[in-house]
């Protein structure tokens, strides 16, 4: 199967498939004339990688998860540990984003948005607190 067919079946662009090959995540066979020759197993691995990346797993996490998927003697505890670590990272990012949203929402609410030059948003960005009076 050529890279175009694999791209269509896995949902990944050909450029990404080539990148995954370059970094050793997949290793397609080669035809006598040097073209990549993908099997159904390659398609399955690429689909696996596509799904894992869409959940935000890093390339190294994907490498580990793929190795665990291929290891039929694996302990599911290893997989769960990787997923739990990633979930904790996501939850931290969500909390950080919520803090950013709350801060920005407060600044937007306190800005009059009129023709006067006083702007608490710019004061905050410049390091002043919005409540400080100019001296």
pTM for the complete prediction? 0.78
Q: What number of helices (H) and strands (E) belong to the chain?
A: 6, 2
Per-residue pLDDT 10s for the chain (135 aa) are 999 999 999 999 999 999 999 999 999 999 999 899 999 999 999 999 999 999 999 999 999 999 999 999 999 999 999 999 999 999 999 999 999 999 999 999 999 888 988 898 999 899 876 555 544
CATH fold of 1-57: Multidrug-efflux Transporter Regulator; Chain: A; Domain 2 (1.10.1660)
Q: Is residue 38 within 8 Å of residue 48, measured between CB atoms?
A: no
Q: Where are the domains of the chain?
A: 1-57, 75-135
d(CA 116, CA 134): 14
């Amino acid at each position: 199967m050529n890279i175009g067919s694999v791209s269509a079946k896995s949902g990944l662009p050909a450029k990404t498939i080539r990148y995954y090959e370059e970094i050793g995540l997949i290793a397609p066979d080669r035809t006598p004339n040097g073209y990549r020759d993908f099997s159904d197993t390659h398609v399955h691995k690429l689909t696996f990688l596509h799904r894992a990346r869409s959940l935000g797993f890093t390339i190294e996490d994907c490498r580990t998860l793929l190795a665990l998927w291929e290891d039929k003697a694996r302990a599911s505890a290893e997989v769960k540990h990787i997923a739990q670590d990633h979930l904790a990272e996501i939850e931290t990012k969500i909390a950080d984003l919520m803090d950013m949203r709350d801060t920005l929402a407060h600044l937007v609410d306190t800005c009059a948005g009129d023709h006067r030059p006083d702007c608490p948003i710019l004061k905050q960005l410049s390091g002043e607190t919005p409540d400080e009076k100019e001296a």
